[in-house]
Amino acid sequence: MKRIAALTMARNDDFYLRKWVEYYGAQLGRENLYIFLDGLDQVVGDFCAGTHAQAVEKIGSQVIEAEKGRLRFLSGKAAELLSAGYDLVIGVDADEFIVVDPKLGLTLPEYLSTLRIKDSISALGLDFGQKLGEEEAIREDEPFLHQRHYAQLGTRYTKPSIIAKPLVWGSGFHRIKGHNFHIAKDLYLFHFGYFDWERIQARYADQDRMDQGWGGHMHKRSRTIRLVTEKKALDFERWTKFARRCQTVCRPPYAWNKPGMMELKIVVRIPDRFRDLV
C-alpha cells in the first residue's frame, strides 16, 4: 500500500476543516494529515487532535497575492513530505473531498495504490450547489451527501491534486506549472464551498474575507446554486463519462494544462451509492 499524506491551508473555516479532518482522517489516518492555519491569530481546534496542525504567519493581504503565496508554501511542504518518504501527497482546500466511486469497493488509498502515477493525477470535479425549493439549509449534524444531491460538471474543480514528486501547484491547486494533467477513472473531487445559500450570505458578512477581495469570487461561484436550481439534472453515468473525455481533449486557449469543456453547463444528480461518503 502506498504511503499517502493530505495537506491543506485554511483561515476562519472550522466548519469545513472539521469535515476535512473527519473524512481524510478516516481514509488516510490522522497522523498523515498536515494542516496549516493561515495566520498566527488562528487557533488549532480540538477536532484536529492526532493530526499535524499548526498556525503559520499569514500569507498575503489580497486574494490573488495570498493565493500565489499559499500555493508556493504548500508546494514546498508537499516536497518535504515526499522527501520524507511519502509516495503521494494530496493537496486540496478544506471544502474539497477526493472520493472513489463506491461501486469499486475500494478505499482511497487502496484505489490510489493501484495506479501508476508518474507526476500527478486528477479527479473529475463536481461543484455542488443547493437546489432551492427542494433542499433545505445545510445541517452540521448530518452528512453533506444526505442533504445535497446536485452538482455541476465543470472544469474548475478537475485539479491535479495528487502528486507523486515535488511539483509546483498554481493558485487554488488548479494546475501544475509546466506539466500536463491526467484524469483518473472512477475518481471524483467533490467541492462543497458554495453549496448553501445561507453560508454564502454569511461569508459576505465576513469582513476579513471582504478585505482580502473575496467578494467578486464568491458572487461568481454562487452561480452554482442558480444552475442546479434552474437546470434539469442529467444522468450521472453518461455525463461524467462525457466530461472526463471532453476535459481530457479540450483545453482553454490561455492555459494548455487546464481542462476545458466548451463552456457547457451540465448538472447531474449524484447516485445514492455516494450518500454516506462525506
Residue 165 has pLDDT above 50, yes or no: yes
Give how many domains the chain has, as a whole number.
1
We report the CATH number of the domain holding residue 72 as 3.90.550
Nearest CA to 157 among 108, 92, 101?
92
Q: What is the mean pLDDT of residues 81-92?
A: 97
What's the mean per-residue pLDDT of the chain? Answer: 88
Domain boundaries, position 99: 4-274
Q: What would the pLDDT profile of 31-83 be if each residue is shown by its tens digit?
A: 999 999 988 999 999 999 999 999 998 876 555 567 778 889 999 999 999 99
Sequential DSSP letters for 140-208: TTS-HHHH--EEEE-STT----EESS---B-GGG--BTT----EEEEEEEEE-TT--HHHHHHHHT-HH
Q: What percent of the chain has pLDDT over 70?
A: 89
Average pLDDT, stretch 242-257? Answer: 80
| DSSP-based three-state secondary structure for 92 | coil
Least confident of 151-165, 208-222, 255-269: 208-222
Q: 145 is written with which cell numbers?
A: 451527501
- Which residue is associated with the grid cell 473575496? 214
Q: What is the pLDDT of residue 254?
A: 67
Identify the pLDDT of residue 18: 95
Q: For residue 214, what pLDDT band results from cuts at 50, 70 and 90?
A: very low
Mean pLDDT of 85-106: 97
pLDDT-based confidence at residue 91 (cuts at 50, 70, 90)? very high
* pTM of the predicted protein model: 0.89
